[in-house]
Structure 1
Amino acid sequence: MKVLYLTKYSRLGASSRLRSFQYFPFLEEEGVEVAVSPLFNDAYLEALYSGKKSVLAVFWAYLKRFVILFSVFKYDKIVIEKELFPYFPALFERILTALNVAYIVDYDDAIFHNYDLSSSKLIRYFLSNKIGIVMNKAEAVVAGNDYLAEKARISGAKKVVILPTVIDIFRYNVVEKRDRDKIVIGWIGSPSTFKYVKNIFPVFEELSRLYPIEVHIVGAMENVSVSFPLQFIKWSEDTEAASIAGFDIGIMPLENSSWEKGKCAYKLIQYMACGIPVVASPVSMNTVVVQPGKNGFLAENQKQWFKCIEEILSDKRKCFTFGLAGRQLVEREYTVQGNFSKVAAILKK
């Protein structure tokens, strides 16, 4: 079997790396011949994270994607990450269907809200139902959580499969019990999502007056003036697990809006894989992964964030018991090894 993956990014992009690339070695062991063609390369993504956008880079990326579409007949299956051409009508997905080229489409974000909730009237008018059309025409829709799956169902998708965003369990080691003065509260993510952490900076300010905390931010860097100890750590795929292993508590704050309901709680899964207790906003899949009082806590406002983190800080036993429960949950539900069979079944059916 030959499969073409049309990902949005190269391996540097988290969504593409986790939803597609990490499955390739397992597929190849099953005799599946995988070809991959990212829409955007590493240079584009690095520029995007630094706040730079190039119209020329987008043009060449779209042109390359257009050319690769002429090769789809060589493959038994086509897997599309989200959409073929962002901010362009679902014309080419319709053409694939008209040519009897069945495709599978994968979502780990509520990108349909880029269109139906856009501030631009033109985008809302022309593209508000674009992702619904893409889902409707697909052979199968793979969704990272229930919110995304429900969008596929109401769009009339032929088949909907829920596949959480998962980890390679062998890359994450359980944190050994530490004996040190400082307590590290950590977060990992992209520059675009660092805004959620800044919303709870006042909590860290208050906690730092009572406890010897240090806040670690992995994957984002920004000039901020704070009174609590703050360390920014550069992200890389090779070092991310070790960076997380340096945390004592892992956090995932979110806003409670339509876009955030598409999030797949991947940060929490990473933290738990290292045996770390978590505190998160009660939004979407966070409420599925976090079992309050067992592997972490859910906090809705700053008062609750302070209370939840302080409860872990003041009782070191919770670090161990919550961490152990989290690791066990990840091993049962959220590993690439355990979920690979779903991917194989979708492709081979």
Structure 2
Amino acid sequence: MLLLLLSRYGRLGASSRLRNYQYLPYLEAKGIEITVAPLLSDDYVTGLYRGRIPWGSVMKSYWTRWQWLRRAADFDGVWVEKEMLPWIPAGLELSGFPKGIPLIADYDDAVFHRYDRHRRALVRTVLGGKIDAVMQRADLVIAGNDYLADRARQAGAQRVEILPTVVDTERYQTRPSPDSPVITIGWMGSPATAPYLHRLAPVLQTLAANQNIRWVAVGANPAQLETLPLTVWPWTEAGEVADIQQFDIGIMPLPDEPFERGKCGYKQIQYMACGKPVVASPVGVNSVIVRHGIEGFLASSTEQWIEALQTLVDDAALQQQMGQAGRARVEAEYSLQVTAPKLECLLRSVMK
């Protein structure tokens, strides 16, 4: 069985790494032969995070992707991350896709809002319904959460299944935090999501008076957070688990906005997999993954954030209890070991 994977990025792109690449060893071991054709290279991702997009290579990438679309008939199915050609109208994008070839479209965020809520009316007019058209054409839409699944159903998708973004629990292991009187409150992310931390500026400033608290952000550009009293650690794929294992508490602040409601809560799952309690904004799937008072706390206001964090800082036993509950929840619902067999079944059910 031959499957063409049209991912958005190479391994440096978190969405592609988590929604696609981490499944490849399992799927290939089950006899699905996968050809991987990312649209954008790791050089693009590196340049994006540094504010220098290599536009020449982007144009070449689009041409290469178009050639892959013309070869799609050689496969038993095509697995697309989000869309085939970003910022290209659906009619043109789908015109290059051969009839009769099963299309599986995968979504881990509300990419449709980049178009239908764009500040320019022309973009909203031309591209506002683009993702809906792709969803409608797809033989199967795989959504990371209910918000995305609901949009696919509203778009008229033939079939919609929910598959959360997960971690490999063989790789993500619990380990006691370093024996230190200092409590580390940590965040894991990228330059794209680091601005959300500014929402916690009053919280950081209030709790900064406590000399027993250290704030850490992994994966941000230091310049993005220079006004906040925290330390920035560089992110690496090889080191991300060890970094989280040094946390005592993991945080995930989000604004309650349409795009953020489509996020898949992956940071929470990472923290929980390492046995860390979580404090997060109750936005979208966040309030599904973390049950308030069990795996962590959900906090909206500054006062709620301060209270939740201070409660955990003051209670090591509660940290351990919530961390254990989080690990158990990940093993049961948010692990690669649980979702990989489900994904295999979904792919086989639509491939010819």
Query: TM class, shorter-chain normalised?
Result: over 0.9
Q: Which amino acid aligns with 1:249?
A: I
Deviations 1:29-50 (A, max 9, x none): 1011011000000101100011
Deviations 1:250-299 (A, max 9, x none): 00000000000110000000000000000000000000011111110001
Deviations 1:121-170 (A, max 9, x none): 11001111000000000000000000000000011100000000000101
Aligned counterparts of 1:149 and 1:162: Cα–Cα separation in 2: 7
Aligned counterparts of 1:226 and 1:241: Cα–Cα separation in 2: 27
Q: Which amino acid aligns with 1:89?
A: P
Aligned counterparts of 1:334 and 1:347: Cα–Cα separation in 2: 19
Aligned counterparts of 2:7 and 2:98: Cα–Cα separation in 1: 22
3-state DSSP of counterpart to 2:80: strand
* Pair 3,129 (structure 1): closer, same or farther in 2 beyond 3 Å: same
Q: Which amino acid aligns with 2:315?
A: D
1:5: which partner in 2?
A: 5
**Do 2:198 and 2:228's aligned partners in 1 also have CA atoms closer than 8 Å?**
no
Name structure 1 gaps, 5 residues minimum.
none
3-state DSSP of counterpart to 1:57: helix
Residues 1:36 and 2:41 aligned together: no
1:296: which partner in 2?
A: 296
1:282: which partner in 2?
A: 282
**Do 1:118 and 1:124's aligned partners in 2 also have CA atoms closer than 8 Å?**
yes
1:63: which partner in 2?
A: 63
Aligned counterparts of 1:97 and 1:157: Cα–Cα separation in 2: 17
Aligned counterparts of 2:279 and 2:56: Cα–Cα separation in 1: 42
Q: Which amino acid aligns with 2:162?
A: I
**Do 1:97 and 1:137's aligned partners in 2 also have CA atoms closer than 8 Å?**
no
**Do 1:184 and 1:247's aligned partners in 2 also have CA atoms closer than 8 Å?**
yes
Name structure 2 gaps, 5 residues minimum.
none
**45-54 vs 279-288, which moves further:** 45-54
2:86: which partner in 1?
A: 86
Deviations 1:44-98 (A, max 9, x none): 1100011112332221110110111121111111001000111111135533666
2:128: which partner in 1?
A: 128
Aligned counterparts of 2:129 and 2:330: Cα–Cα separation in 1: 35
Aligned counterparts of 1:117 and 1:325: Cα–Cα separation in 2: 38
**Do 2:73 and 2:98's aligned partners in 1 also have CA atoms closer than 8 Å?**
no
Task: Trace 1:1-349 onto structure 2 (pairs within 5 A).
Answer: 1-95=1-95, 99-176=99-176, 178-223=178-223, 224-226=225-227, 228=229, 230-349=230-349
Aligned counterparts of 1:334 and 1:231: Cα–Cα separation in 2: 29
**Do 1:84 and 1:92's aligned partners in 2 also have CA atoms closer than 8 Å?**
no
3-state DSSP of counterpart to 1:169: coil
Identity level (%): 44
- Aligned-residue Cα RMSD (Å) equals 1.3
Deviations 1:301-347 (A, max 9, x none): 11111010001011111110000000000000001111112211111
Using the size of structure 1 for normalisation, the TM-score is: 0.97
Report runs of 4+ in structure 1 exceeding 6 Å deviation: none
3-state DSSP of counterpart to 2:166: coil
